[in-house]
Homo-oligomer: A and B are copies of this chain.
Amino acid sequence: MNEKGMAADDGKRLFKQVYDHVIHRIEHGEWKAHEKLPSIRQLAEELGVHRLTVFRAYQMLKHNEKVYVKEKSGYYVNPNDPDRVVLEYGEDQPIVASGKLINSLSDIQRVSAAYQFSQALIDPNLLPNLFLSDYVKKVFDLYPKLMGTYSTVQGDEELREVLSRYMMQNHHTQLQASDIMITTGAQQAIDLLSRIFISPMDAVMIERPTYSAAIDIFRQQRARFIPVDIHHYGYDIANVERLMKQYKPRFFYMNPTFHNPTGYTVPSSQRKQLVELAERYRCLLIEDDAFHDMHFDGPPPQPLFTYDTEGWVVYLRSFSKYVAPGLRICAIIASPTVMKLLFTAKSLADNGSPLVNQKIFLHYFQSERLQQHIEKLRIALQVRRDIMEKELTPTGWNWVSPRGGLNLWIKLPEAIPVEQFLKECMQQSISFVPGIICDPLRKMRSQIRLSYSFINEKQLQQGVKNLVTVADRYS
């Protein structure tokens, strides 16, 4: 390449870097809607580039509708940017409830409601609290220096040993402690994998609908979404193959067992096929198995990772969710290659999850009480699901009865405008998740997710009755 070519290429590189720089600041909310950008001169100085480079970046930002121009004044952040990265739900589709703007799932969940159908969490009253407290005391007798000790980056070895044996017994697969990493909840696991695998513009396959936090995490890394519809019978496998072939996604993030939010389960027959596709098209599968143990009609099919011999499945299992969610224990099972990348990412992110939590969990996990607790919990959840479904039957709304998990995914009649409906429900102290939050394409405007796991039976019944009363106003 000659010198002139070099200079031109350097110019292009700088141009794109300036462009990205501005986008980053806008997306992170530093430069807000209608705020004036720095002058061309200012930004050129700040970044140490030529003013012409900034000028060209600003022109491109304008062309892409990221900014608008006021004559003789300057460049301003465009609030109507068509493909704005939605870090906050409300910037695209604001929902006003109880006079407050609802910006995201966590906002909806923060609004206190007597009838909480927006939390896919276990009612704390269903957890073995007293027993756990006693257990904790034993754990501290066992490890008197626990408070003074850091965990290793990958997680407590004793816990990983126990989990690997548990997985081998239950899933007939070969595993070692070194194949497992402990993270602070499944969300951290998704975030670490996203930081490792997603570069800007990377294609990522994702179910539609899906776990809303995953959408936000992948968007933050500026992924391109390749959505795959999930149905009660699984995926359209031919379509999955076509998409893998065409887009070569970095991974397919999936939640194939008692899927959140729909409750669907991908059948065994598709699981082996999916692993074969993953191998053939070199597309990692990230299998998020958050609800595995919460089945109502017998255990679900074996996880996809049990079919994997070549390391194309990364398996995430939230273990503490049904036992002691406050401990935030998730296990990632991955091939040595992926584990090495995870190790670096985790060591930079927090250098290892707290050991205290891992040891407390370890000892409870090994106790007989755990199995008894999980069996009781399944029954309790099934009863709650039945109550919710019974109260909803007269409405004629559409849903597929879930055979596990914590949620009902409901298609409302067209006559009910979901955002207005949520607003009115919140005024009645009822909360739920509007489906649009779970949709990577932000179009599912008549679906809602109702969680039946968080409030007790009596409240659940009354809450659903009240919800139906609000809905009746639209008919």
A residues apposed to B, CB below 8 Å: 1, 6, 9, 12-13, 15-17, 19-21, 24-25, 28-30, 45-48, 56, 59-60, 63, 87-88, 104, 106, 110, 121-122, 124-125, 127, 129-130, 132-133, 136-137, 140-141, 144-153, 184-185, 187-188, 191, 196, 199-203, 213, 216-217, 220, 247-248, 323-328, 340-341, 344, 347-351, 353-357, 360
**Do B326 and A47 touch (CB < 8 A)?**
no
Chain B nearest Cβ from A46, distance in angstroms: 4
Whether A148 touches B326, Cβ cut-off 8 Å, given contacts A16-B13, A87-B344, A247-B48, is yes
Chain B nearest Cβ from A144, distance in angstroms: 5
Please name the 3 residue pairs, one residue from A and one from B, whose CB atoms are nearest each other, closest first.
Answer: A16-B16, A124-B148, A147-B324
**Do A328 and B349 touch (CB < 8 A)?**
no
Chain B residue contacts of A1, Cβ below 8 A: 59, 63
Chain B residue contacts of A48, Cβ below 8 A: 203, 247
Whether A122 touches B148, Cβ cut-off 8 Å, given contacts A63-B6, A357-B354, is yes
**Do B106 and A127 touch (CB < 8 A)?**
no
**Do B185 and A351 touch (CB < 8 A)?**
yes
Chain B residue nearest to A22 (CB atoms) is B199
Q: List 28 A-B contacts (CB under 8 A).
A: A12-B16, A13-B16, A17-B200, A21-B201, A24-B199, A25-B199, A28-B341, A29-B341, A88-B344, A106-B351, A127-B147, A129-B145, A133-B147, A136-B136, A137-B140, A147-B325, A147-B326, A147-B327, A147-B360, A184-B353, A185-B350, A187-B348, A191-B348, A191-B349, A326-B356, A349-B349, A354-B354, A354-B357
Chain B nearest Cβ from A393, distance in angstroms: 31
Which of A88, A147, A340 has the most B CB atoms < 10 Å from its CB? Answer: A147
